[in-house]
C-alpha cells in the first residue's frame, strides 16, 4: 500500500463486502444533511468535471454532462434538499445515460478525507484494516466437502491477493482431493482482479490468458494471466461449477465470464448484475464523492465484456435452487466417469437424495393456489 489512495480503495472494497454480507443493496443508514442551491451546484460541477477528466468513455461523459445540465435548466433539482436523496437522484440520472452500474454519486455524513492527503498509512490504519479483512476471512465464507466428494467454496468477495493469499492456498489445498468443485458467487459483489487471477491459477494446468483491463489514463491495457506456479496442487481438469445470482457483480462477474469463455466451468443460476468497468472514488467535497469507472474489461476470446448485460448462465435457474442443481449435476457426472461399481452405487444414492431435496425445495416455493 503505497499511499492513502490505496487504503481508500481497499476500504471501499471492504465496505462492499460488508454490504454483501448483510445482504444490503443500499448504503448504510446514516444521518442526512440539508443542502442548498450552492451545495447542489458544487456537487454537480464537481461530478461532471471528474467524469469528463477520467470516465472510460469520454463521449459518454459529454452526453452525461449535457443531460444533467438540461435537468438543471429545467430546475429539476431545485426542490431536492436532502443530501442522500440528491446523491441517489444524480446517480439515477447519470446511469440513465451511461447504463454503467459502477458509476455512483456517494453521500457520507462523515467527511471524506481530502484527495490531496497522500501519505503512507499509519501502523494503526494498517492493523485496523488487516483486522477487518481477517474478521471476514478475506471473503472466504465457507469451504467444505459435500456428499459425493464434491468440493464447495462460498466466496463473498475477491479481496487483496497479497493479504489473502495464505487463505487462498489453504482453501484450494483443502479442496484438491474432491472430484468436482462448486464455487458459490451468489453473494459476491466483486473486488480485485489480482485475486481473480490467483484463484483461477489453481483451475488451469498451463498459463492462461484470462482478461484484459483497458484504462483511459495513458490508454494502457493490462493483461491478466494465471500464475505459472501456485503453492500446493492445482485442481487439474476436474469439473467446476459456478453459482450466480443477480447480485453477482464486478470482479465476481469477471471470474465467471473468464471461465465461461475458456469453457472451464459450467455456470448455474441467474444472470449476473452487469458491471465491467473498474475504477475508484473521487472526492467532490467533504460529504460527496463519485465512483468513476476509469477502465473496461476486454475478454481475449469474446473481445468484449458483460457490461450492462451480465453473464448468462449455462443452466438458468433461480438462485436458491442453484446449489442443489449443480451438486446433483456434479454427482451424476462423477458417476459417469467411475468404473468402480460400488462407488457408482454410492453416488446413485447420493443423487437420489439430492433429487428428493431439490423436488421438495421447488415444491415449497410454489405459490399457494
**3-class DSSP state for residue 152?**
strand
Lowest-confidence region among 113-122, 164-173, 196-205, 230-239: 113-122
What is the mean pLDDT of the segment spanning 38-44?
A: 97
Report the pLDDT value the prediction gives residue 367, as an integer from 0 to 100. Answer: 57
- Whether 307 contacts 276, CB under 8 Å: yes
Per-residue pLDDT, 4: 37
Q: Per-residue pLDDT averaged across 293-322, rounded? A: 97
The kind and range of the H/E element at 19 are helix 4-21
Closest Cα to residue 164, out of 134, 119, 197? 134
Looking at every residue in the chain, the average pLDDT score rounds to 91
Residue for grid cell 454483501: 20
Enter the pTM of the model. 0.88
pLDDT of residue 339: 95
Domains of the chain and CATH, by start: 31-107 (no CATH), 138-286+296-323 (3.90.226.10)
Q: 175-203 burial by CB neighbour count: b if 16+ within 10 A, else e?
A: bbebbbbbbbbbbbbbbbbbbbbbbbbbb
**Up-side HSE of residue 162: CA atoms within 13 Å toward CB?**
3
In 3D space, the residue among 92, 110, 115 whose CA is nearest the CA of residue 33 turns out to be 110
The whole-number pLDDT of residue 365 equals: 79
Q: What per-residue confidence (pLDDT) applies to 125?
A: 83
Which pLDDT score, from 0 to 100, does residue 119 have? 62
Residue 5: what pLDDT? 42
Proportion of the chain above pLDDT 70, given as a percent: 90
- At 15, the pLDDT band (50, 70, 90 cuts) reads very low
CB 198 within 8 A of CB 165: yes
Distance of CA 352 to the CA centre of its chain: 34
- Per-residue pLDDT, 13: 39
Residues in the chain: 369
C-alpha cell at 180: 468436482
Nearest-angstrom CA–CA distance, 190 and 305:
15
pLDDT category at 113 given cuts 50, 70, 90 is confident
Q: What is the pLDDT of residue 19?
A: 40
Q: Give the chain's end-to-end CA distance (angstroms, integer).
A: 58
Q: Tens of pLDDT along 128-170?
A: 999 999 999 999 999 999 999 999 999 999 999 999 999 999 9
* 3-state secondary structure (DSSP) of residue 343: helix
Amino acid at each position: 500500500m503505497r499511499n492513502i489512495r490505496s487504503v481508500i480503495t481497499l476500504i471501499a472494497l471492504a465496505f462492499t463486502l460488508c454490504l454483501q454480507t448483510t445482504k444490503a443493496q443500499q448504503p448504510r443508514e446514516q444521518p442526512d444533511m440539508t443542502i442548498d442551491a450552492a451545495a447542489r451546484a458544487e456537487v454537480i460541477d464537481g461530478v461532471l468535471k471528474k467524469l469528463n477528466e477520467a470516465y472510460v468513455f469520454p463521449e459518454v461523459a459529454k452526453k452525461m454532462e449535457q443531460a444533467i445540465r438540461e435537468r438543471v435548466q429545467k430546475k429539476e433539482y431545485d426542490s431536492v434538499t436532502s443530501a442522500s436523496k440528491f446523491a441517489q437522484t444524480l446517480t439515477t440520472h447519470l446511469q440513465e445515460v451511461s447504463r454503467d452500474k459502477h458509476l455512483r454519486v456517494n453521500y457520507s455524513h462523515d467527511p471524506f478525507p481530502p484527495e490531496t492527503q497522500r501519505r503512507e498509512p499509519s501502523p494503526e490504519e494498517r492493523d485496523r484494516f488487516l483486522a477487518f479483512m481477517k474478521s471476514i476471512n478475506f471473503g472466504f465464507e465457507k469451504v467444505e466437502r459435500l456428499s459425493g466428494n464434491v468440493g464447495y467454496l462460498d466466496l463473498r468477495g475477491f479481496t487483496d491477493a497479497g493479504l489473502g493469499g495464505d487463505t487462498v492456498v489453504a482453501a484450494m489445498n483443502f479442496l484438491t482431493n474432491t472430484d468436482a468443485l462448486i464455487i458459490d458467487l451468489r453473494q459476491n459483489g466483486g473486488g480485485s482482479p489480482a485475486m481473480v487471477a490467483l484463484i483461477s491459477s489453481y483451475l488451469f494446468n498451463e498459463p492462461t490468458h484470462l482478461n484484459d483491463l483497458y484504462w483511459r489514463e495513458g490508454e494502457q491495457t493490462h493483461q491478466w494471466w494465471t500464475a505459472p506456479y501456485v503453492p500446493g496442487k492445482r485442481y487439474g481438469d476436474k469439473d467446476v461449477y459456478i453459482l450466480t445470482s443477480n447480485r453477482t457483480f464486478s470482479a465476481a462477474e469477471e471470474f465467471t465470464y473468464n471461465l465461461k469463455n475458456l469453457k472451464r466451468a459450467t455456470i448455474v443460476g441467474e444472470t449476473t448484475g452487469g458491471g465491467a468497468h473498474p475504477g475508484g472514488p473521487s472526492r467532490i467535497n467533504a460529504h460527496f464523492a463519485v465512483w468513476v469507472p476509469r477502465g473496461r474489461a476486454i475478454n481475449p476470446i469474446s473481445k468484449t465484456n458483460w457490461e450492462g448485460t451480465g453473464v448468462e448462465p449455462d443452466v438458468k435457474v433461480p438462485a436458491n435452487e442453484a446449489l442443489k442443481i449443480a451438486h446433483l449435476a456434479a454427482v451424476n457426472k462423477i458417476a459417469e466417469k467411475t468404473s468402480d461399481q460400488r462407488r457408482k452405487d454410492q453416488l446413485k444414492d447420493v443423487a437420489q437424495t439430492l433429487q428428493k431435496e431439490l423436488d421438495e425445495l421447488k415444491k415449497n416455493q410454489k405459490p399457494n393456489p
